[in-house]
Structure 1
Amino acid sequence: MIRKMHKDEIEVVSNIWLNGNLTAHNFIDKNYWLKALATVKEQFQQADVYVFIDNNVIKGFVGVTDNYIAGIFVEETFRNQGIGQQLLNFLKQNYLKLSLDVYDKNIMAQKLYLKNGFKIVSQDIEQDNNEKEYHMLWNQGEDK
């Protein structure tokens, strides 16, 4: 089941966010993510955060602000079970357009987004960590 995150779930979601970044973005110093954690917790309260729940366990989530996907994260032990795809499908059913940024070195995420009709529209270097990233867009009806 996918539903909006409840305020009392911020700690669980924050831990999934931190662990997800540490494993998926291991090319970035872990202190970068640790320093960002407090700010991210605040941002969760402003964003639309949807959690994937199975057997009363939050297994993953996606955060969206103004049609921008801030990230899709799945707890490590539940990866490769289609949860990320289900979260993305949920967004595609509820939004007319979506955008996101993905690191050049995050090949798995790039493949997921490209498979789902996202198109790379630009690339840049993120100033905070000097990593190359792609800006991607998806518009409903253009992913066939």
Structure 2
Amino acid sequence: MEIIEIKDRDSILIQNLLDVWESSVKATHLFLSKEEINNIKKYVPFAIKEVPVLVIAKNVDKNITGFMGTKDKILEMLFISDKYRGQGIGKMLLQYGIKNYNINELTVNEQNPLAKKFYEYMGFKVYKRMELDEQGNPYPLLYMKMTE
């Protein structure tokens, strides 16, 4: 597995990451309808382009297996392609982010219990809960910080 920080975010890379995002979200965000996923999907390329630090994971075949984005020590996004879930890629990316970008905070959907459990396993603890997501939708968010 290779982990690479990406500076140049061309349209081919954005499309590949969008495919990873969609695969991941369809597998893990079961509380979202297809319509909601398609609506959110419109904004993902912009988020990928604008996140200050973008890191991807590639397997030996050079396929992108996952990616994360960070800003100011906060994990903004972490998505693993469904076909590569459970192989330690998320752990590898997050550890890389903690070591290289001092990630110590993140937000996760409460309705994604596997992600919450993963982040707790990685040393994060919930410190705040919001009833609505950033767009005002009824998807509670959990704010987590790294425990000492």
Show the counterpart of 2:138: 130
TM superposition shift of 1:56: 0.9
- Amino acid in the other structure paired with 1:90: Y
Tell me if structure 2 keeps the 8 A contact 1:72–1:84: yes
- Amino acid in the other structure paired with 1:37: K
Matched, 1:12 2:16: yes
TM superposition shift of 1:97: 4.0
- Amino acid in the other structure paired with 1:7: R
Matched, 1:39 2:43: yes
Partner Cα distance (1:38, 1:111) in 2: 28
* Cα deviation 1:37-77 (Å, max 9, x = unaligned): 23220121111211001121101111112222122111111
Matched, 1:50 2:51: no
- Amino acid in the other structure paired with 1:49: L
Q: CA RMSD in A?
A: 1.6
1:28 is aligned, of 25, 28, 32, to 32
TM superposition shift of 1:130: 0.1
Tell me if structure 2 keeps the 8 A contact 1:28–1:129: no
More strand per residue: 1 or 2? Answer: 1
1:115 is aligned, of 118, 121, 131, to 121
TM superposition shift of 1:99: 1.6
Unpaired runs of 5+ residues, structure 1, are: none
* Cα deviation 1:103-123 (Å, max 9, x = unaligned): 222111111111111111100
What TM-score do the two structures reach when normalised by structure 2?
0.86
Runs of 4+ with deviation above 3 angstroms: none
TM superposition shift of 1:30: 2.2
Aligned residues: 140
- Amino acid in the other structure paired with 2:55: Y
What TM-score do the two structures reach when normalised by structure 1?
0.88
State the percentage of identical aligned residues: 25
- Amino acid in the other structure paired with 1:50: V
Q: How does 1:56-135 map to 2 (within 5 A)?
A: 56-127=62-133, 128-135=136-143
Unpaired runs of 5+ residues, structure 2, are: none
Q: What secondary structure sits across from 1:110 in the alignment?
A: helix
